[in-house]
Amino acid sequence: MSNIPHSENQAPEQESTGSVDASASKTTLFDRRSDDESAAHETVAAATEIDFDSPEFYLNRELTWLAFNSRVLSMADEPDTPLLERVKFLAIISNNLDEFQMKRIGGLKQQLAAGVRTPTIDGRTPAEQIAVCQERVREIHKEQNRILRKVLGQLAQQGIRIVKYHSLTEEQKNDLRSDFVENIFPLLTPLAMDPGHPFPFISNLALNLLVTLRHKGGSVPHIARVKVPVTKGIAPRFIHVDDGYTFVALDDVVANNMDLLFPGMEIESCELFRVTRNAIVETDEEEADDLLVMIESELRHRHFAPIVRLQITKGMNPTHRGMLAAELGLDEENDVYEVEEIMGMRDLFEIAFLDIPELQDPPHKPIDHTRLAHDSRNIFHIIRERGSLLFQYPYESFSTSVERFLRTASVDPKVLAIKMTLYRTSAEGGIIDSLVQASRNGKQVAVLIELKARFDEAANIGWARRLEQAGIHVTYGVVGLKTHSKVILVVRRDYNKLRRYAHIGTGNYHSGTARLYSDLGMLTCDDDIAQDLTELFNYLTGYSPPPTYRKILAAPYTLKKSLLKKIEREQALHSEHSPGLIQFKMNALEDIDITRALYKAAQAGVKVDLIVRDTCRMRPGIPGLSENVRIISVVGRFLEHARIYFFHNGGNEEYYIGSADLMTRNLESRVEVVAPVDDVKLRQELRLILDVQLSSKKHVWEMKPDGTYVQRARISETDSAMSSQDTFIELAQKRKTAAAKHRQSKLRAKLLTYFHKRVLNES
């Protein structure tokens, strides 16, 4: 999801009845040869010593991420998904696949150009990964087009139509032509392509028309490129043509009014195309005198980065297709994609967000946390009194928890300092405003902004400059490491001493994603965690060496080592009387060392339950190796984004939450924070989350031994069932109702006590 603010990869998931069925693939998506699978099963069953580096035991990172997108796509094909939400999922998939081409295919092509031939742990070279990924992407596109045609038909039944220009009435065409002359024509710049005019620069993901034309009566063809000026608020992709919900695509309007752009010329053809550029353009931080200037330079270079994909309309003139591929430096057979339906389907967000409530998910309003609702006291007093508080977004409010925490800190005269990491944020919600207000009120404010948050670099540069102008100390982290942690530390002069208050989260400080992503956050005044975060910030903003910590697990120095030790400890403590249990909920499991350790624990008898949103290297159910492993993927209206790590630990249970996924980049090349949850009541809340998702059937996909996924229950079997996300919505509302009744009963008791005392006094 991203557009729909970023997905750290953003987007829900999917695979449905009648849609992409990963388990039905003729050849497994993850292991190239089914013979290898059979051999692996036989080998494991027979062997006493297992080669834990064998490629057969590991799934491919890119293909598992594409399989996740197949699960997202199935949400667009589910009858119980509201119609405009199905349109939204189609747009999400298009956006996700654009980013996949920019980041993952772009990166693989860089490896290929550098001569890298070393296979990954699953046995594929960069060239082999590109080939199999392109094949899988084409399959997803085919399924996406099938679902789109189906959805467009159902939209038409509801009076929502995307029509072709030639089907409009003459009156509608005249109205559009007038609008074209006034609002679109001034934005167009035709660029000729001939010996005197070199092939023009083509912007990333922009829509373009390749126009073939001749002088009237002439025989020599000419070619020009016209960029379709999709501009938010001025020239949307889909233009209203009546008072209802009939739309025509902007590129269709431009193509049918070319005579105004080329007067006196005969238009022979108008063919749509679109290019995708590599998003990985990074320079060496250690060579940069100014990191902010370096990132700005990277953004400019990304604008001109190599092209990795060309999309064209189906049936484009073969000569034009070949010319474009050659000019753009692409392999015509492998890098050119024909589009059957709507090119740039992510623009369907415009349709998905139409104000038609009956065709969208029922509105969801997060509740105030029951321990904060109707308690107007200073939030620091509440935390100090209550201990730690756990929040589950978007079921509970981000505004009345994290934003309230920062708003209060910015104006509380006893607050002396605020330290915070920012990976992604937004103008909405007031995070930046609170930090600026705190600085103006004389508090020490230090903010670490990650400038290299993919696709948010420009926004983060803007936030950095605004904060610096407000007198805030802004740093950009440790050279060579992305700062991905989500932490806030507030230093306050309490009544008897200095006390530190902290927030540790799994998601960004972004009010938009807090309504769309399923995340967790904890407010605490735990002394050990506060001291750990103090030392962490000293490391991030200064030169102090990486510290050892009392409670938190921090990447890149302690997190991976600690997790491996805890997995090994679980294996050592496992017994018949005290069975081992590891349960992880995360976005991705990619790190080989962690995967190998989980295999060893499972082989020794430890039960391993994994709730993995997308990328997953591990395979469950391999005889003699991973029969104790269960892997599921949860889908729904919200993007699953929380990370929970649980260890049974011989009965001395441990729960952790934090920002880190189990990917090598997160564990070794990023600053991440994972913190323990010690409070018994908060542990019960985490236990509920894990149990609900592990036991749900609706919108849950379970991985099979070959790495494919199948739905736990068909649509017909889940008509009366609730998804885990629906369960959490209902639970939040019940908590709100129960809290209100509790307040009423307390008020009644107070009134009874008051009147009883008054009666006694009067008597």
List, as one string, the DSSP characters of 503-533: EEESS-S-TTHHHHEEEEEEEE--HHHHHHH
Radius of gyration of the chain (CA): 28
Q: Is pLDDT at 112 greater than 70 in this prediction?
A: yes
**Model's pTM, two decimal places?**
0.88
Per-residue pLDDT reduced to its tens digit, 432-456: 999 999 999 999 999 998 866 555 6
User: Tell me, which fold does domain 162-283+307-355 have in CATH?
Assistant: polyphosphate kinase like (3.30.1840)
pLDDT given for residue 746 in this prediction: 67
Domain range summary for the chain, segments of one domain joined by +: 162-283+307-355, 379-551
For residues 634 and 640, the answer to whether their CB atoms sit within 8 Å is yes
- What's the average model confidence in pLDDT over 139-148? 97
306: left (phi over 0), alpha (psi -120 to 50) or beta: beta
Q: Among 180-184, 414-418, 583-587, which is the least confidently predicted range? A: 180-184
Per-residue pLDDT reduced to its tens digit, 64-104: 999 999 999 999 999 999 999 999 999 999 999 999 999 99
- What's the average model confidence in pLDDT over 622-637? 96
pLDDT given for residue 24 in this prediction: 36
3-state DSSP of 257-284? CHHHHCCCEEEEEEEEEEEEECCCCCCC
Domains 162-283+307-355 and 379-551 belong to one CATH topology: no
Per-residue pLDDT reduced to its tens digit, 350-366: 999 999 999 999 999 99
Q: Is pLDDT at 717 greater than 80 in this prediction?
A: no
Per-residue pLDDT reduced to its tens digit, 594-615: 999 999 999 999 999 999 999 9
Q: Is pLDDT at 400 greater than 60 in this prediction?
A: yes
pLDDT given for residue 18 in this prediction: 36
Give the DSSP H or E segment for 419: strand 415-422
* Separation between Cα atoms, residue 196 and residue 351, nearest integer Å: 42
* Separation between Cα atoms, residue 583 and residue 572, nearest integer Å: 17
Per-residue pLDDT reduced to its tens digit, 718-746: 456 789 999 999 999 988 888 777 777 66
Mean pLDDT (the chain) is: 87
**What does 329-358 look like in DSSP terms, one character per residue?**
T--TTTSEEEESS-SSGGGGHHHHTSS-GG
379-551 has which CATH code? 3.30.870.10
Share of the chain above pLDDT 90, in %: 71
- What's the average model confidence in pLDDT over 749-760? 63
- What's the average model confidence in pLDDT over 635-644? 96
For residues 382 and 375, the answer to whether their CB atoms sit within 8 Å is yes
The DSSP bridge pattern shows strands 629-634 and 700-703 to be: antiparallel
**What does 156-186 look like in DSSP terms, one character per residue?**
HHTTEEEE-GGGS-HHHHHHHHHHIIIIIGG
Q: Is pLDDT at 476 greater than 90 in this prediction?
A: no
Q: Is pLDDT at 128 greater than 70 in this prediction?
A: yes
Q: Is pLDDT at 29 greater than 50 in this prediction?
A: no
* Residue closest to 525 by CA, chosen among 499, 544, 507, 553: 499
Per-residue pLDDT reduced to its tens digit, 250-303: 999 999 999 999 998 999 999 999 999 988 755 444 444 454 554 455 545 545
Residues annotated as part of the active site:
484
